[in-house]
Amino acid sequence: MLNHTMSMQVGENPQHYLDRVKSSFQDELKAIPKIIDSIDAQIAAERAKQPIDRKKIEQLTTLQDQYRLRQTTVTEGLTRTLPYDDIKAYISHKGDYEKQT
């Protein structure tokens, strides 16, 4: 899974930062279906083998479920605007506070 621990750079425009985070999530959302398909292929290959390695299939199925959950999480994150609005409000408030001090 891709890592979204991006931090805002010093002097970076807040909107640019938010666009960068959103773009990163969109890239991840595009990649996840390919990963899930790859895991499907691995599961099919394991089932075709003799003897069937049930533990390996179980591990792959668990991994596939984790990616499906991540896909749902990223999709919901992209459709919600509240976190972006909160970040914008925080950055704006922080800037106003720094001007006053």
Residues 32-55 have a mean pLDDT of 93
Alpha-carbon span 101 to 98, nearest angstrom? 5
Q: What is the pLDDT of residue 98?
A: 47
pLDDT of residue 101: 43
Residue 26 confidence (pLDDT)? 87
What pLDDT does 59 receive?
A: 96
Short-list 30, 26, 17, 24, CA closest to 3: 24
Average pLDDT, rounded, for the chain: 78
Nearest to 27 by CA among 60, 3, 63, 56: 3
Structure confidence by residue, pLDDT tens digits, 3-37: 455 666 677 777 777 788 788 888 888 999 999 99
pTM score: 0.63
Q: Where are the domains of the chain?
A: 44-101
